[in-house]
Amino acid sequence: MILYSLRCAKDHEFDGWFRDSAGFDEQCESGFLACPTCGSTEVSKALMAPRVMSSKEASVTISAQAKQAMPQAVELKRKLLALRRAVEENCDYVGGGFAEEARKIHYGEAEAHGIYGETTPDEAERLREEGVEFGAIPWVREDT
Residues at the interface with Zn ion (CB under 5 A): 8, 10, 12, 35, 37-38, 40
Nearer to Zn ion, 36 or 96 (CB): 36
Q: Which is nearer to Zn ion, 42 or 75 (CB)?
A: 42
Cα of 57 vs its chain's centroid, Å: 9
Tell me the three state secondary structure of residue 27: helix
Shortest separation between residue 18's beta carbon and Zn ion, angstroms? 18
User: What is the dihedral sign for C-alpha 112, 118, 122, 124?
Assistant: positive
Mode of pairing for the β-strands spanning 92-95 and 115-117: parallel
The distance from CA 55 to its chain's CA centroid, rounded to whole angstroms, is: 10
**Residue 71 CB neighbour total at 10 angstroms:** 11
Nearer of residues 10 and 113 to Zn ion, judged by Cβ: 10
Least distance in Å: CB of 22 to Zn ion? Answer: 24
Identity of residue 94 = V
Nearest residue to the partner Zn ion, using Cβ: 35
Residue closer to Zn ion (CB basis): 37 or 68: 37
Integer-rounded Cα Rg, in Å, for the chain is: 20
